Structure 1
Amino acid sequence: MKLLLLLMLLSPALLWGQTGTLSGAVHDARHSAVPFASVAVVGTNLGAVADAAGRFQLLKVPAGALRLHLSAVGYAPAEHDAVLADGQTLSLQLTLAAAPAALSEVVVTGVSRVTEIRRSPVPIATLSRREISLNANTNVIDAAVRGIPGLSAVTTGPNVSKPFIRGLGYNRVLTLYNGLRQEGQQWGDEHGVEIDGYDTERVEVVKGPASLLYGSDAVAGVVNLLPGLPSGPEGRLGGDALTEFQSNNGLLGHSLGLNYQKNGFQTSFRASHRLAHDYRNHVDGLVYNTGFRELTLTGMAGVVKPWGSSHWYLTLYDNQQEIPDGSRDSLSRRFTRQVAESALDDIKNRPLASRDELRAYAIGPLHQRIQHYRVFTKTQVELGRGQLNLLLGVQQNRRREFNHPTAPVQAGLALDLTTYTYDVRYHLPAWQGLEMSVGSNGMAQVNRHQDATDFPIPDYNLLDAGSFLLLKKPLGKLEISGGVRYDTRLVKWDDFYVATDPRTGFGAAAGPQVAGAALQFPSFRRRYQGLSASLGASYVATEQLTLRANLARGYRAPNIPEIGSNGLDPGAHIVYLGNRNFQPEFSWQQDVGVLWHQPTLDASVEVFHNYVQNFIYQARLLDAAGQPVVIVPGNTTYQFQQAAARLYGIEASLNVRPAALPWLALTSNVALVNGQNEDAKLVENPDNAARFLPLIPPLRARFEVRATLPTRPGRLTGTYFRASLDGSARQNRFYALDNTETATPGYALLGLGAGTTFRTRAGREAVQLFLQVDNVLDVAYQAHLNRLKYFEYYQASPNGRPGIFNPGRNVSAKVVVPF
């Protein structure tokens, strides 16, 4: 048996089975074609996307009884049973009913097995590739934030967005690429997500503790970015070419995707390139040093057989991102650039950045370069009535931050982080309706400084492992699920010395024997451990009404900066100080949800409460006189703190598609989270400055009206017009201690969009066109989670508007040519 299992994992192409072909078309209740509908065989990795005329084809489908899952934007998902004989070509006519949302949609993130969204006790939200394409985005996280309530992002310029879920972020939100945890120094404020947004077919977000399945770092939730699998005709090369332009920062984006499948073999490749100059708003003009240049290559090869599937992925990501610091002339408010080092750098008398520099696509001398390499394999094997899933991966993140204007090739920060990841799960055969899954996952990390001058964290080694048990049992309309998990993490590093390099005058790593060497990071070794648990239930009271509730205990070990920081992060312009005595965070979160689903209306209300023990946050370091401590001139100093915290809030959505106007869709959602500090000493502060937690988003709401013209004979299909309004209320509940944060005014942003698909005379999709105008009225605003809001060197601004504002009006055009 062991030999047989080994052969199935390592030589899947040797195994064959009886197969046939499925083809047909997808229509709605009025017998009109449903373009771009997804057709998937439940329990396998087989699937296809219909063309503009609703036609699809699936080859090499295992013979026997099948269940097909159908879905499309604007339609309620459905399932269809079929029986396929060996060698048979079976033609099907499938039907979808119009619906404004998809609460019956199936997901894989945050659940043990494929599960309907409404049957999951843990709140899960999804976003399709088409919805991503409708918007103008500079990164995939921004796209997800627009479409998923409760998800927000801390931003540093237009291309650095860190996901926050219900007020929690950084290492509390686990970002996955197709199930592989993304490890790339995500603790930094200016560190984005190293994933190609053009390659993302679907986004799944778990809102709430998911550490039961994924371990530490998923205590707030999970963002899983899923690429697509080949879905074109058998034996024919397919793919798409994309080009995009955005007016605000002159963004030029290009992407080419290729895919091929035959006899169960699948392969795909995508190359994407984007570049942009500095972005603009009417308060600041062009914001100096906010341009970027990004290249991504993604390849996949795999097999799909009746026994299961195995896929191998290789990705290469290279991003050059300019580093803004916000320095400017005090009277004209024009941006200035740094040309000198340390004491010779007079921030208030720097030279002005020229107009040519502001509009140039060339990357400036002060920038960061991130190279991320990833290779991993995902294998799924059917073992009798059970199923084994295996994921193995290795990735390396190379980060260089160049912050020396007199030595532009000398990196201030140079880190190489290598991560080895495993995830193995076995889904046991169902027994009297009881589904049981067991598994283990973890990682090993090695982080090393290279030729650098600044050392904010030590060189470290990390070992992380956890095991879990999940159970799910349907009891009529009631479905109960839960589980338990144990995690352990070992963190260690050796003594790390720093000395001044006499050749350059900059700091450098040194041995203890070097004259003048200082011990910046004393050796450290500690093991963290914790227990996670979850118990939840969903109750389908009627075909329309679903009730669900969940109680979860989450666990998170402190990350390296929180326990080991002792130096300048040049990209953030902050000196961080850690605390070696921190304890793990443990959270207790309760979720209660009510979901209503019918063909013309979807509505949901989710209420949550989260109490976090040993919550870790940043606060400015003050001296005995209450004045800010300055360790490196021109940079602020923060020290990590630990206290109890409480977060609670509500999310609601309403989606309407009037039966009398089936071409019209009205969508709306609102999200509110309140984060309070439970540290008695801070709460007793006379001015209540520390009552609230930092980085809590304000009340946010989004409304959209979309009209999609009915599909008719002709060259155009899928034509739509849309108008949206994104609003943020004033944020008065902020972390005011030491002026860390300030109140943020509310704002409302109007967006307009339109698009269509051109098709050939034969009915094949030829060109997709998307047009979008964001911030139509060119509103000057600062998002509360925009870090550039606090990039200000003067006590007062001549125009009364300190800090840097978000981008102004942006007109975008995107063209996709499938083939």
Structure 2
Amino acid sequence: MVLTKTRFAVLVALFVAAVLPPRLAPAQTGATGTVRGVVTLEDTGKPVHGVSVTILQLRLSTMTGDDGTYEFKDVPAGIYDIAAHLDRVPDAVNTVPVTAGTAVEVPFQLRLRAVGIQVTVTANGSEESSLKAIQPVDSLTATDLAEKNVQSLGDVLDRQLGVAKRSFGPGTSRPILRGFDGDRVLVLQDGNRIGSLGFQSGDHGEPIDILSLEKLEVVKGPSTLLYGSNAIGGVVNAITGHESAHKGTHGYVTGVAGSNNNQAGGGGGIEYGTEKWLFWANGSGQRAGDYDTPIGRIPNSYTRDGNGSGGVGYYPGRSFLSIDYSFNKRRYGIPFDP
């Protein structure tokens, strides 16, 4: 009977040793490191106390002291997402590798600005950054847009996942999202409604300068209901990238060309910013003739467009003021049956 109890105790000890995660005994293994840093404000560089710093994968949290510093000891070696959270301030997330026997410095800079409260719900059983959560959002950068080499919004997004186009010619194409068209697809620029007639009629295009965009986003799924009942199919948001100030001068020049329809076009822009002010100006133009097909040239499929915009923004902190003027002139044909 004593032998049976002893054997049972040994089996229990072996089972416990097998199922316990290695991080419960870091001192014996030595395969741990230290993570520390300081949290400051981006605008002033002053330390921030009372900030919650969390290693998401390990669910370990600590608070910054009066000098803005924090420290995690005995952190198992690996790659971790570390988040700094302060109420009413956007979270900051850094991904860092931790190696055994070393100390990793991970500083954070919190930026005071308008913040939208959001909750990310995932089904993977553990916390993760909302930046890495799977979201029904497609995004095209300025480089992607230039590579497309097209004249209108529908042609840019055509053949993206869940996206087709409605077209009465190259100059009037408009995206179709998940089979929805017209007033079921909302087109925005920098989060504002454009107010064009493109959703009502197929011979009206969207007045968006493709060559001057910094990014083009397509939102699908239940989150589109936040934009209203006419966004059931989805939302297309054209982003120009003037939401905050930056110091110095930035600029770009873009050129496009095509041989099938004798296309030629180009655009350019410049930004100048100080600590709280930003000034910008953009301009572009494109022309394309009737395009050729295996059955011949398609009459009245030409496109001409010219665009210009300029503005100024003031960004003192949590609030901002931005004024922008845009000019769009288009002339395009609508192909017809001979």
Q: Normalising by structure 2, report the TM-score.
A: 0.60
Q: Aligned-pair distance for 1:211? A: 5.5
| Residues in 1 aligned to 2:90 and 2:255: alpha-carbon distance in whole angstroms | 42
| Residues in 1 aligned to 2:301 and 2:234: alpha-carbon distance in whole angstroms | 29
Correspondence for 1:165 among 161, 172, 177:
177
Q: Aligned-pair distance for 1:249? A: 0.9
| Map of 1:557 onto structure 2 | none
| Residues in 2 aligned to 1:20 and 1:257: alpha-carbon distance in whole angstroms | 31
| Map of 2:141 onto structure 1 | 128
1:67 to 2:80 alignment: no
| Residues in 2 aligned to 1:145 and 1:168: alpha-carbon distance in whole angstroms | 14
| Map of 1:205 onto structure 2 | 218
Q: Given that residues 269 and 300 in structure 1 are in contact (C-alpha distance below 8 angstroms), is that contact kept between their aligned partners in structure 2? A: yes
Q: Which SS does the other structure have where 2:232 is aligned? A: coil
Q: Which SS does the other structure have where 1:217 is aligned? A: helix
| Residues in 2 aligned to 1:117 and 1:212: alpha-carbon distance in whole angstroms | 21
| Map of 1:254 onto structure 2 | 266
Q: Aligned-pair distance for 1:269? A: 0.9
Letter in 1 for 2:320: S
Q: Aligned-pair distance for 1:214? A: 1.5
Q: Given that residues 125 and 205 in structure 1 are in contact (C-alpha distance below 8 angstroms), is that contact kept between their aligned partners in structure 2? A: yes
| Residues in 2 aligned to 1:69 and 1:294: alpha-carbon distance in whole angstroms | 43
| Map of 1:220 onto structure 2 | 233
1:242 to 2:251 alignment: no
Correspondence for 1:195 among 204, 208, 215:
208
The aligned runs of 1:356-435 (5 Å cut-off) are none
| Residues in 1 aligned to 2:153 and 2:94: alpha-carbon distance in whole angstroms | 26
1:180 to 2:205 alignment: no
Which 5+ residue runs of structure 2 have no aligned equivalent?
A: 1-41, 47-88, 96-104, 121-129
| Map of 1:325 onto structure 2 | 336
| Map of 1:275 onto structure 2 | 287
| Map of 2:65 onto structure 1 | none
The aligned runs of 1:687-706 (5 Å cut-off) are none
| Map of 1:511 onto structure 2 | none
Letter in 2 for 1:257: G
| Residues in 1 aligned to 2:131 and 2:305: alpha-carbon distance in whole angstroms | 34
The aligned runs of 1:730-809 (5 Å cut-off) are none
Q: Aligned-pair distance for 1:114? A: 9.2
| Residues in 1 aligned to 2:176 and 2:144: alpha-carbon distance in whole angstroms | 20
| Residues in 1 aligned to 2:196 and 2:90: alpha-carbon distance in whole angstroms | 44
Correspondence for 1:288 among 285, 288, 299:
299
1:304 to 2:329 alignment: no
Q: Given that residues 210 and 218 in structure 1 are in contact (C-alpha distance below 8 angstroms), is that contact kept between their aligned partners in structure 2? A: no
The 3 A distance-change label for structure 1 pair 217 and 81 is: farther
| Residues in 2 aligned to 1:274 and 1:204: alpha-carbon distance in whole angstroms | 23
More helix by share: 2
Q: Which SS does the other structure have where 1:19 is aligned? A: coil
Deviations 1:171-218 (A, max 9, x none): 100011110112211210122211000112112212235553221311
| Map of 1:313 onto structure 2 | 324
Q: Which SS does the other structure have where 2:206 is aligned? A: coil
Letter in 2 for 1:214: Y
Letter in 1 for 2:329: D
Q: Which SS does the other structure have where 1:260 is aligned? A: strand
Deviations 1:533-553 (A, max 9, x none): xxxxxxxxxxxxxxxxxxxxx
Deviations 1:126-177 (A, max 9, x none): 222222223322223322224x300111112222211111111111000111
Q: How many residues align?
A: 232
Which 5+ residue runs of structure 1 have no aligned equivalent?
A: 1-16, 22-63, 71-79, 86-107, 328-819
| Map of 1:496 onto structure 2 | none
Q: How large is the RMSD of aligned CA atoms in angstroms?
A: 3.3
Q: Which SS does the other structure have where 2:225 is aligned? A: helix
Letter in 2 for 1:270: N
Q: Which SS does the other structure have where 2:230 is aligned? A: coil
Q: Given that residues 124 and 204 in structure 1 are in contact (C-alpha distance below 8 angstroms), is that contact kept between their aligned partners in structure 2? A: yes
| Residues in 1 aligned to 2:147 and 2:244: alpha-carbon distance in whole angstroms | 21
Q: Given that residues 284 and 307 in structure 2 are in contact (C-alpha distance below 8 angstroms), is that contact kept between their aligned partners in structure 1? A: yes
Letter in 1 for 2:322: H
Correspondence for 1:264 among 255, 266, 276:
276
Q: Given that residues 155 and 170 in structure 2 are in contact (C-alpha distance below 8 angstroms), is that contact kept between their aligned partners in structure 1? A: no
The 3 A distance-change label for structure 1 pair 231 and 159 is: same
The 3 A distance-change label for structure 1 pair 84 and 179 is: closer
The aligned runs of 1:545-584 (5 Å cut-off) are none
Identity of aligned residues (%): 28
Q: Given that residues 242 and 255 in structure 1 are in contact (C-alpha distance below 8 angstroms), is that contact kept between their aligned partners in structure 2? A: yes
Q: Which SS does the other structure have where 2:158 is aligned? A: helix
Q: Which SS does the other structure have where 1:131 is aligned? A: helix
Letter in 2 for 1:189: G
| Residues in 1 aligned to 2:109 and 2:257: alpha-carbon distance in whole angstroms | 46
The 3 A distance-change label for structure 1 pair 222 and 125 is: same
| Residues in 2 aligned to 1:213 and 1:304: alpha-carbon distance in whole angstroms | 26
Letter in 2 for 1:199: S
Q: Which SS does the other structure have where 1:315 is aligned? A: strand
Q: Which SS does the other structure have where 2:170 is aligned? A: coil
Consecutive aligned runs of 4 or more in structure 1 exceeding 6 Å deviation? 230-233
The 3 A distance-change label for structure 1 pair 219 and 290 is: same
Q: Which SS does the other structure have where 1:269 is aligned? A: strand
| Map of 2:50 onto structure 1 | none
| Map of 2:163 onto structure 1 | 151
Q: Aligned-pair distance for 1:83? A: 4.5
The 3 A distance-change label for structure 1 pair 117 and 66 is: closer
| Residues in 2 aligned to 1:252 and 1:230: alpha-carbon distance in whole angstroms | 31
Q: Which SS does the other structure have where 1:141 is aligned? A: helix
Q: Normalising by structure 1, report the TM-score.
A: 0.26
More strand by share: 1
Q: Given that residues 160 and 191 in structure 1 are in contact (C-alpha distance below 8 angstroms), is that contact kept between their aligned partners in structure 2? A: yes
